[in-house]
Amino acid sequence: MREEDKIKNGLLFSPGDPELAAMKLKTHNLNVDYNMTHEDETEKRTEILHEIFAELGANVRIQGPIAIHYGNHTRIGDRFFANFNLTIQDDAEVTIGNDVNFGPNVTIVTPMHPMIADERNGKTVLNEKGEHARLCWAKPVKIGNSCWFGANTVVCPGVTIGNNCVIGAGSVVTHDIPDNCFAAGVPARVIREIGDADSIRHMPEILGGCTVISEAD
């Protein structure tokens, strides 16, 4: 079985496998290309992002710099925005929905490593060939539609975040978050459900002549 197939099946795999290393090298070089562009070189930036990601929706804007590990394991929906310093370590699949916004320094990680040092270092783990090997495994991350992540949010392996969620700045998300929730903390926990009380229509001091319309309008 290819190491790539092991990743998809949630099995231990060798991150140093030549095929995987070639995928990562290509994407790491594309990261450098992207990070050397100017912000107003929009066409060039979009071309590079299409080379990096498995799927890229319409009207995507990523401020940069970026640090994407594989890229071809990540699918991004329409109208995605990421502020400075986006990191996606997508050994396993990462799926991001439509209308998602990331603050600065958001990190998504999927790989897992053994807790026992000798297992992590390959001293007590043998691969299918009977050779000592440093192996890891990975868990997919899924992010729903219309989510907003505050600055310095970290999403850990295996997490699913529902639609319409807000993740507070500095949070470390280690467990699933249901739809329509505000979650924050280390580790992140659901603080409350998001509702009408959160509408900016209740903040006249900031509206400055703007209007919030209801869905019925």
Residue 217 has pLDDT above 60, yes or no: no
Just list the catalytic residues: 113
Domain ranges of the chain: 3-207
Query: Average pLDDT in the 108-136 region?
Result: 94
Residues forming beta bridges with residue 109, ordered by sequence position: 89
Which tens digit of pLDDT belongs to each residue from 181-197?
Answer: 999 999 999 999 999 99
What DSSP assignment string belongs to 33-100? HHHTS-TT-HHHHHHHHHHH-SEE-SS-EE-S-EEES-STTEEE-TT-EE-S-EEEE-SS-EEE-SS-
- The mean per-residue pLDDT over the stretch 48-76 comes to 98
Q: Specify whether the CB–CB gap between 21 and 69 falls below 8 A.
A: no
pLDDT at residue 214 in the model? 78
What are 181's strand-pairing partners? 193
Exposure on the CB side of residue 188, measured as CA atoms within 13 A = 30
pLDDT for 130: 92
> Per the confidence metrics, is the pTM higher than 0.75?
yes
CA angle 178, 159, 110 (to 5 degrees): 160
Q: What single-letter amino acid sits at 8?
A: K
Question: Residue 209's pLDDT is what?
Answer: 87
- Mean pLDDT over each residue of the chain, to the nearest integer: 96
CA 214 to CA 217: how far, in whole Å? 5
Report the top-level CATH class of 3-207. mainly beta
When pLDDT is averaged across residues 169-176 and rounded to a whole number, the result is: 98
Looking at per-residue confidence, does 208 or 49 come out higher? 49
